Amino acid sequence: MSGKSSRSKREPGNFIAEWFGHRVYPIVANSGRAYEDQDGKRCPFVSDVTGTSTGCVKPTSKGVCTVSSTSNGVRQDWLACPYRVLDPVLLDNAARRLFGHEADSHVNLVPMTTLEHRPGATRFREAVREGVPSIVYFQNRLGGEIGIRATPRSPQLSFDATMIEILPGDTPTGLKLGRYGIFEIQTMDFHGSYRAAMKNLENALHLHKEKFAEAVQGNPQWVSEGMEGPNIANVFKRTFYQMMFKFQIGGHGDSTGCVFALPRAVWDSWQRHLGAPELVEQEDGTWRLRTDKFTLPSKPSSWIYVFDIEADSDVSPSPIKLWRVIGTSAEILAHYALDVAPAAALEVGGSVEQLLNSVRTKLRKCLPELALG
C-alpha cells in the first residue's frame, strides 16, 4: 500500500470522500453495512431503489461517489457519480414540486425497474386505480435514459431522469400517460485519476478487514494519493448549454418542468460564471435570483436544487439535505451568465483590464520602449 505513514505538514486538498456509498474522509464509516457494501463492491443507492443487490457499474472510478476538495477555498463534497443522488427525500421533493402534490399527500413514485416484476406492476396498477398520484421515473440502469432525437436544426439530448405520471384510462382497466418532468443531476469532472487512492482502499480492505475503518481513519493520505481537484470551468461550459436547453423543454407542452440538482460546491463554483446573483427568499421557503429585468410566474417550471451531503452524520450512507430550492428560468440564467458576468469583467480594475496589464508586462521584457499606460 502506498502513502506515507504519517500526515504531511500540509494536508492535501483532494480526497475520496465516499466509497461504495460510505464515508472514508474526513471520518470513516464504521458499520456492518458499510463493510458489506464495500467488501461486496455494491452500490447501496441503486440497491435500495431496486430492492436488489447491485454492484457499482463504473469501470474507471469504481466505488467513488464523492470527492472532498478545497477548490472553492473551503472543504466541500463534489459529486462524482449520479447514482449518489438516488435519495428518496430528494426525488420525492422534486416529484411533488413538478407535479403539484402537497408535502403531506401520498405519492407513489417508483423506478421503471419496479414495473418489470409482476408484483411491483400489480401494486402500481392498484395505486393508480385507487386514485393515488403515481409516477414512474426512468434513469440509466433504472429502465434506461429517455431523450430527444437530433433534427437538422437541434441536437440529440438525453435526460438524467425522466418522471412520467400514469393516470386511470378511459376504461375500467385502462391506463394512460399524463405529464412528464425532467430531473437532471450535476456530476463533476476531475483532473487526474482516482487509481492510486482506489488501490489503497482496496488493499486496506483486503489487509485489515474488520479493522478497515480504523486503518483508513489513521492514514488519510491513502485516500488522497494522486487525487486532483474538479475541472470547474470545463463543467460549467458543458453544463450551461444543456441546462438552458432542458429548462426550455421543461416549460413546453406536456412537461411539468425541469429540476437541476447540484451539490452546494458546484453552486458556489458557479458564482463567478453567473456574476454572483443575489438570492431572495419567498414566502413558501423557496428562493429566486433577484432581477428587475424578468418576471417569473408564481410557480416556475425551472428549478435548481442545491444540496449538501451531511458528512458528520451518524447515519451511513450520509443523508442528503436540500440547502436551496431556486425557482428560475433559462432567460434569467442567460442574463446573469451573458450580461452580468461579462459586465463585471469589463469594470475598472476588472479581469479584462488585468489581462492588458499582464500582456504589457510580458511584452516590455522584449520591448522596453512600450508605453506604460
Q: Write down the pLDDT at residue 5.
A: 34
What number is the average pLDDT over the span 165-194? 92
What number is the average pLDDT over the span 309-314? 92
Residue 127: pLDDT over 80:
yes
The residue written with cell numbers 480504523 in the block is 214
DSSP-derived 3-state class of residue 303: strand
Q: Write down the pLDDT at residue 188.
A: 87
pLDDT digit string (tens) for 59-109?
889 999 999 999 999 999 999 999 999 988 899 999 999 999 998 899 999
pLDDT digit string (tens) for 240-261?
999 999 999 998 889 999 999 9
Long-range contacts of 29-38 (CB under 8 A, 24+ apart): 29/213, 29/316, 29/317, 30/213, 30/214, 31/316, 33/316, 34/213, 34/316, 35/210, 35/212, 35/213, 38/63, 38/201, 38/205, 38/212
What number is the average pLDDT over the span 160-182? 94
Provide the whole-model pTM: 0.89
